Amino acid sequence: MTWQDGWWPYAFIAIAGWLATDIWRWLGVVAGNKLRDDSEALNWVRAVATALVAAVIAKLVLYPTGVLEQSPLWLRTGSVALGAVAFFLFGRKPAIGIATAIAGLASGLWLLGF
């Protein structure tokens, strides 16, 4: 029996996937239940959570997988910068920043012959 057959892949996904993620969510509930929503401790938790997500963002842009692995770094950072400029120039609307960054990336990829 390989991992592709029967119940084993489901058990594998349940243990290595479900348990490994939900444990942290449950611990978060336990920790969050002790925090008052105007406390300095919550401010710190908020800062750590935001910095974690920001680090994930930076890694996705700097070290992507798949097609973008072959794209130049300047194109990816340049597209994000372009999107940021549009975001701040035009009323801080997420849709404008996102559309500009994606349009920048798409035209860059096209010009580079992807």
Partner 1 sequence: MNREEDEQSSLAWFGKGMRGIFSLPAFILMLSFVGFCSLTAQAGIPVQQVVFMTGIVWALPAKVILVGSMMSGANLAAAFLAVSLSSVRLMPMVAALVPELRTSRTPTWLLLFLSHFIAITAWVFAMEKVPKVPRGRRAAFFAGFGITLVATNMLLVAVVYHFVADFPPIVAGCLFFLTPVYFLASIWHSARHPVVYVALLFGLAGGPLFYWLFPEFDILIAGLVGGTLAWLVERLWRQRKEVGA
**Amino acid occupying residue 61:** V
C-alpha span between 105 and 108 (Å, rounded): 5
1, 7, 18, 89: which one contacts partner 1 (CB under 8 A)?
18
Looking at beta carbons only, is 1 or 110 nearer to partner 1?
110
Which positions from 30 through 49 interact with partner 1, judged by CB under 8 A?
31-33, 35-37, 40, 42-49
Q: Report yes or no: 35 and 45 within 8 Å, Cβ to Cβ.
A: yes
Q: Which residues of 56-94 are buried (b: 16+ CB within 10 A; e: fewer)?
A: eeeeeeeeeeeebeebeeebbeebbebbeebbeeeeeee
For residue 1, the minimal CB distance to partner 1 (Å) is 14
What token pair was written down for 92?
């801080």
Looking at beta carbons only, is 46 or 89 nearer to partner 1?
46
The reply on whether position 1 binds partner 1 by CB under 8 A is no
Looking at beta carbons only, is 28 or 89 nearer to partner 1?
28
Which positions from 66 through 105 interact with partner 1, judged by CB under 8 A?
66-68, 71, 76, 79-80, 83-84, 87, 92-95, 97-98, 101-102, 105
